[in-house]
Amino acid sequence: MALKALFAKLRPLVAGGASAASGLRKRLADLRADPSADRLLALEKTVELQAQLNETLDVQITIVQVQLAKLRRTVQLLVIVLIATATLAAIALAAALLR
């Protein structure tokens, strides 16, 4: 269920990141073909696209970190419950054996 929520949050960001990566690839191709005067403009556009892509990745990483923190708390709680259950089972077994 947590993964579905994570995928739902990341889906729009991945689509935006893919378009930014596509634009970046196109700008890099333009950079190779342009004369030197236009290369600077193409390079500036490429840097802008890279910044957009970096922002998208930062948001994705933040979402993943939040989801991992929630998952960690859940796993910690599960481990505590399992330890308590095992302890109670051991006590019940010991009590049954002593009778």
For 78, the enclosing helix (H) or strand (E) is: helix 36-98
Whole-prediction pTM value?
0.52
Q: How far apart are CA 83 and CA 64, in angstroms?
A: 28
Give pLDDT tens digits along the chain (99 positions).
666 776 676 666 666 666 777 776 776 676 665 567 577 778 888 888 898 899 889 999 999 999 999 999 999 999 999 999 999 999 999 999 998
**C-beta contacts of 48-54 below 8 A and 24+ residues apart:** 49/20, 49/23, 49/24, 50/24, 52/16, 52/20, 53/17, 53/20, 53/21, 53/24
Angle at 26 between CA 29 and CA 39, to 5 degrees: 50
